[in-house]
Amino acid sequence: MKGAFRQSMSWLHTWGGLTLGWVLYFMFLTGAVGYFDGEITRWMQPATPVVSETVDQEKMLVLAEARLEEVASDAKEWFVDFPVGREYALSIWWKEFANKDEDGDGEDDGVWVDEMLDAKTGEMVAVRKTGGGGALYRMHYALHYVPRTLAYWITSLSAMFMLVALITGIVIHKKIFKDFFTFRPGKKQRSWLDMHNVLSVLPLPFHIMITYSGLIFLMFTTMQGVITTSYGEGEENRERFFNVVFSGGVPHKDAAGIAADNITLSAVLPDVITRWGKNQMRYIGIENRGDINAHIEIGQQGYAGLDHGGSLTYDAVSGALQHDSGESAEASSGTQFYEVVTSLHEGEFAGSTLRWLYFISALMGTGMVATGMIMWATKRREKAEKNGQSSKGLVFVEQLNVGTIAGLPIAIAAYFWANRLIPAGFETRADWEINCLFIVWLVMLACPFLLSRKWSLTQVWAGQLTLAAVLYGLLPALNALTSDQDLVTTILQGDWVMAGFDLTMFAFALCFGFAGHKMNRKVSRQQLAAMVPSSSPAKTAKGIKGVVS
Amino acid sequence: MMFLSFSLAFVGFIALSLAMSRHFSQMRLWRKKRSKQEVLALQVMGYLYLLIAGAICMMNQGVAVGLVFWLGIATVAALLQSLLLTYRPKQAIIIGLATLALGVLLA
């Protein structure tokens, strides 16, 4: 019975893992990169007017508000982000009319527009439009080119499979403690399995947390039924549910349609300062501007444990305080659980060291999926070839593996290249950066098929890994050529966000270069093996080894 | 402080791997065999160091963030030890002790 149980779990693990493996690889990699979304955006907008010393927030707010009045006096919503934490510049946001209503709530969806300002003069600083790190981060759960709800279903389903794969993986791993540290290289399948185990078991707490919390994150899409049974169908009832669960006691007021004069943003500052002290804001914004139901919202910088700092809400007509998160009643245990689990997933609270630890664990997860996929295919193909069966389908899987496992990193590098090569003034450049990513990925996916007559799969692996090494290795040079923030300058200035990106790209280039080098050696071994007549296998193997070493 | 925590976790994992016969022989110490008591002592030391590493994280960063930190640190420490066992098994103990010394100095 026990044997049968383990066997069925093993079946579930291998097939469940394979089915959505490519999606999982995509989610793990873009999600890992997403932990550095702000830092990546900073690199992709080298003209960012970085604020490195403390500038008085009261002065910045006056400048920002003047600029908003100038460019967005009609907008219903304004926000000002201060340069604190992982925000590097003073920026303003407003919502323009977009003439579309995709969610069907009868209101214009609007489109957010942002500008960066010089923190001392309040003048607009032109930075190139980019999706930045945020676009990579968003695609790890919302994909791209796919309608949002469908994307959520696909990523949730993948997370579900991932959770199944993790649990079955623990069940079928016979020596989880004995093999805890074990990696034996140079032993083919054995080595792949060792690597798969190490990459899965060492960050297991992370893997379980990230998978489970990913499912929880999207539960309002996947478990809609729970909401509709208690609150009823439709957008209005759904909003009612969210108000109860997440408002934290602040009734979210929609615009009443009655015009009213609003106070300035700066008018509430004296009260904010008495509550939090000077220069403690993360953002300040106003909703329903010009309406009798307008309110001003302010977020506090810093984190208390896993949570964001507090928030304050003021009536924008009378200036009266409506809500202080520090004084509100505790949220329900369900809401608290949701918030803890999702903040663990996002890791917003993490400083730079912990962020790196998150990133490493997530990369190990990426490696876990990759090694699993590689093992699945080679193991079956070798067995099929040994038995003289057709291995066409398995070769197909292996070809997709190359185009995904090596191809996606190349595509991400292409995204960074596009960022610097598409002219800064090009209207739809942000969209085209992303298009470049997917076009390059598609080419990489097609490459093993198109080259299958001339190149062996090992050669395609070697080629793509080397290409990845070249693309990542030259990014710092591209940065030096297309901005005034080359690696030497940024290191001398102590700008570790910018320098860190370049140095990390070098590190990636080294890793891909090493992997490519290994693959190239494998290619030459295979070519030699093909040349030497197969007189005696033992002799051949020895001869080749001699030549190679 | 966080580096001290990392170095303790790292040495903890070295102790735990020394308690395992395959890794003990990989690291090729001056002796070939260990008594049962020594194995037990290594295990106790390993877990104890890991726990101290966790305690440091939580005292330094608060319980919630400290726990997250601890798991992240332990993951990287274990990864480092498994790489050392593969590629530099004989130097593992020296590197571990040097890291611990650095951790104490930096704290």
Average pLDDT over residues B35-60: 96
Q: Compare CB distances from A360 to B2, B17, B76 and report the shortest one's residue.
A: B76
pLDDT reported for residue A105: 63
**Residues of chain A where predicted confidence (pLDDT) is lower than 50:** 536-549
Kindly identify which residue of chain A lies nearest to residue B18, measuring between CA atoms: A181
pLDDT reported for residue A99: 77
Provide the sign of the torsion angle of the four alpha carbons A455, A457, A463, A468, taken in this order.
positive
pLDDT reported for residue A534: 56
Indicate the DSSP class of residue A253.
P
pLDDT reported for residue A84: 92
State the Cα torsion A331-A337-A343-A346 to the nearest 10°: -140
Q: Which residue has the tokens 């080119």?
A: A145
Give the C-alpha separation, B89 to A81, whole Å: 51
pLDDT reported for residue A78: 95
Q: Is B102 on the interface with A (CB under 8 A)?
A: no
Beta carbons of A265 and A296 less than 8 angstroms apart? yes
SS (H, E, C) A133-187: HHHHHHHHHHCCCCCHHHHHHHHHHHHHHHHHHHHHHHHHCCCCCCCCCCCCCCC
Q: Is there a contact between B65 and A205 if contact means CB atoms under 8 Å apart?
A: no
Q: Is there a contact between B82 and A360 if contact means CB atoms under 8 Å apart?
A: no
pLDDT reported for residue A533: 65
pLDDT reported for residue A435: 97
Residue A65 CA neighbour count, 13 Å, CB half: 16
Residue B29 has φ and ψ, to the nearest 5°, of: -80, -175
Interface of B with A in 12-71 (CB under 8 A): 13, 17, 20, 22-23, 62-65, 68-69, 71
Write out chain B residues lying below 8 Å of A344, CB-based: 68
Q: Which residue has the tokens 């917003």?
A: A348
Helices (H) and strands (E) in chain B, counts: 5, 0
Write out chain A residues lying below 8 Å of B23, CB-based: 181
Write out chain A residues lying below 8 Å of B73, CB-based: 357
- Tell me the per-residue pLDDT of B54-103, one tens digit each, with 9 for 90 and over: 999 999 999 999 999 999 999 999 999 999 999 999 999 999 999 999 99
Token pair, residue A262, equals: 């609003």
